[in-house]
Structure 1
């Protein structure tokens, strides 16, 4: 009976798990920092109307072209840019506010990579 192959596979899997762990912890740490940062900020909240957002936070620096709207399952999504964050609206109500990340993956949504 050859027991070498299962032992080798177990060792290889353990090595991969250990090697991947530091990057997962670093990513978790960055996510936790971002959540804490968001909690300390005054940002538009889910359900606010466009008028409420503009009244409370002022005019956006830019209003991006609407997306979607082709069907009931794909409602119109509007995006307003503010310094440091983007507000996403379904039709005319906030569905999410996203901070611009240091990695820059949402700093220029007009020009997706």
Structure 2
């Protein structure tokens, strides 16, 4: 019975403390990293939007693998070790850096 009273008393004390503002406040630091600035993308040489397939091939060599084209307009992908290049028809529409391994 004493144990039950202690638990009830502790709960009552905690509720009173919360209601009066005497309870400790939890705080956390929030770190925000803007999209596209995670990792080392800024220091990587990547194909730019609008470049032709031929320009990408001349500068970065042959891709490790390719996929597509899929859809209309046709979208295809060239996979390199550190990034993937997305083409619409024959021009780069986006380049995505891979996570460091």
Report the Cα distance in structure 2 between the residues aligned to 1:66 and 1:53, rounded to whole angstroms: 17
Q: Secondary structure at the match of 1:55?
A: helix
Give the superposed CA RMSD: 2.7
The Cα shift of 1:38 comes to 1.4
Name the residue aligned to 1:46. Answer: 49
- In the alignment, which residue of structure 1 is the partner of 2:95? 97
1:29 equivalent to 2:33? Answer yes
Any unmatched runs of 5+ in structure 1?
1-17, 70-74, 105-113
User: For residue 65 of structure 1, what is the aligned residue in structure 2?
Assistant: 68
Q: Is 1:80 aligned to residue 83 of structure 2?
A: no
The TM-score with structure 2 as length reference comes to: 0.62
Quote the offset at 1:57 in angstroms: 0.3
Q: Partner of 2:21 in structure 1?
A: none
1:90, distance to aligned residue in structure 2 (A): 0.8
Separation in structure 2 between the aligned mates of residue 33 and residue 47 of structure 1, nearest angstrom: 21
- Give the TM-score, by structure 1 length: 0.56
Where has structure 1 moved over 6 Å in runs of 4 or more?
A: none
Deviation at residue 31 of structure 1 after TM alignment: 3.9
Bigger fraction of residues in helix = 1
